[in-house]
A = this chain, B = another copy of it.
């Protein structure tokens, strides 16, 4: 199996993140990334369909974790309960050891609009896949899309908070808190305001 040096894609990812973080995304060419690990530009584009993609691998395993969570939900669960299971399942991909790495990665993304665009797209794809999984469990439309989008929104806010400087809570805890907030905001909280 290991004819050439294995883990080519991983080495490219690591080198890319390092160069992006130090020199900036646009100031780093694909050729430079490749050269820094002894490969050619052509090989870079054989492993990653475009330059941004080098930061967005694992999207696959990422979405898979959500879908596993959907499948693990007990039969007869309401849509948002299924989404809750998906969120819990996904939280496993963000253990404490990963926080530092996620932070530097996010700093790179935050500094480049093209990367932000890709990240949003990744979350949108996740929402689409999640909605499809909900539909397969019998959830109708537009409930499936609404629940899926809401779940991804909760995930996104939880992630942003998880990354924040000084944040100590676990990813799962944050998800749960944000989910409660969502229920409060979209629920009949309206009545509270009426008395305020």
Contacts and interface: CB of A to CB of B under 8 A. Distances in A.
Interface of A: 74, 76-81, 84, 116-118, 120-121, 124, 142-143, 145-147, 149-150, 153-154, 156-157, 161, 178, 181-190, 192-194, 196
A186 B80 contact: yes
Given A120-B121, A190-B81, A76 B183 contact: no
B189 A80 contact: yes
A64 B185 CA distance: 23
Contacts of A80: 185-186, 189-190
A186 B186 contact: yes
What is the interface of chain A mostly: helix, strand, loop, or mixed? helix
B77 A193 contact: yes
Contact of A146 (B81, B121, B157): B157
Contacts of A84: 190
A87 to B, nearest CB: 13
A177 to B, nearest CB: 8
A186 B183 contact: yes
Nearest to A118: B117
A6 B52 CA distance: 38
16 contacts: A74-B196, A78-B189, A78-B194, A80-B185, A81-B189, A117-B120, A121-B121, A146-B178, A146-B185, A149-B153, A150-B185, A150-B186, A183-B186, A183-B190, A186-B186, A186-B187
Contacts of A117: 117-118, 120-121
A147 B186 CA distance: 7
Contacts of A120: 117, 120-121, 124
A118 B181 CA distance: 29
Given A147-B185, A183-B186, A186-B150, A178 B142 contact: yes
